């Protein structure tokens, strides 16, 4: 897999940081984006210590114009990873059923869906003008979805919806872009040990170490897989659960820790 020119959003921590470190090597140029300049510079230094050249940009993925300017001005791009994301849960109320605040719903969708769109669209424009390699590939784009996109947890409705949208967009769009030599991948993973899950005080089945997750993602991108899944048994089980009538599935989901109100930070936190 050609990997000389790489752009990563959400690169200051979590999966984005792990991917940057895995790919850092002599001759590699990394464009690293994130919201925390100090953490971003620390990642850049770690990548430089491995021989890569790392350029950082403080960039909110919700800013469509800023993202287009950054990605469009980066030059040739072989790999683009959309890793920025947030999670949040419903909150208990004094009266009535648990609910997400309107502002929280909009923020989760703006970051998780809008941020991916703001990354993928300008990356497609850039890669469309690039010459294909010996295998006919002009570039590869990968976005982090989640196994949450395959289920409907009452505790995290906007997060589930956002990740479902990311997965469907990447998989469906990838069928068209592959004809032009641009390969798209969606990552449907379970819990990964990152700052996003650090506050979770409930069992996380299939918890994957972040370095193992990065390695699995890079193997899948190199193989050109449209959808990258791990752990497979968690994804398979989630797919089967989603075939059940909603009311029946909710009998199970509502008894799980992640299905409860307040199971995750109410306002969410950036995964990277």
Residues with a catalytic annotation lie at 159
Distance CA 52, CA 55 (A): 10
- Nearest 5°: the CA angle 60, 104, 157 is 115
Distance CA 267, CA 32 (A): 25
Question: What is the phi-psi region of residue 193: left when phi exceeds 0, alpha when psi lies from -120 to 50, beta otherwise?
Answer: beta
Distance CA 109, CA 114 (A): 7
Query: Pairing state of beta strands 5-9 and 79-82?
Result: parallel
Q: How many residues make up the chain in this entry?
A: 272
Count of helices and strands (H, E) across the chain: 9, 9
In DSSP terms, 55 is beta-bridged to 31
CA distances (Å), 97 to each of 161, 163, 261, 265, in order?
19, 24, 9, 18
Question: Among all chains, which residue has been given the structure tokens 């641009």?
Answer: 182
Distance CA 184, CA 242 (A): 25
């Amino acid at each position: 897999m050609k990997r000389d020119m790489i752009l990563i959003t959400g690169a200051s921590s979590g999966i984005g940081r792990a991917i940057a470190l895995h790919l850092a090597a002599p001759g590699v140029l990394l464009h690293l984006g994130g919201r925390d300049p100090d953490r971003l510079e620390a990642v850049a230094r770690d990548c430089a210590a491995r021989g890569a050249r790392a350029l950082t940009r403080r960039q909110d993925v919700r800013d469509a114009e800023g993202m287009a300017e950054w990605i469009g001005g980066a030059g040739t791009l072989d790999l683009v990873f959309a890793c920025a994301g947030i999670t949040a849960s419903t909150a208990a109320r004094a009266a009535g059923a648990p609910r997400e605040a309107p502002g929280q719903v909009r923020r989760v969708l703006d970051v998780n869906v809008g941020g991916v769109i703001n990354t993928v669209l300008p990356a497609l424009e850039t890669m469309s003008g690039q010459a294909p390699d010996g295998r006919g590939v002009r570039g590869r784009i990968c976005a982090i979805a989640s196994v949450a996109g395959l289920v409907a947890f009452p505790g995290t409705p906007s997060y589930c919806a956002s990740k479902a949208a990311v997965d469907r967009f990447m998989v469906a769009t990838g069928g068209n872009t592959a004809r032009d030599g641009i390969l798209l991948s969606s990552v449907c993973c379970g819990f990964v040990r990152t700052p996003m899950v650090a506050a979770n005080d409930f069992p996380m089945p299939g918890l994957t170490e972040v370095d193992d997750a990065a390695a699995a993602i890079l193997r899948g991108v190199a193989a050109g897989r449209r959808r990258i899944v791990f752990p497979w048994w968690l994804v398979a089980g989630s797919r089967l659960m989603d075939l059940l009538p909603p009311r029946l599935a909710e009998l199970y989901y509502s008894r799980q820790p992640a299905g409860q109100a307040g199971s995750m930070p109410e306002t969410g936190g950036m995964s990277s």
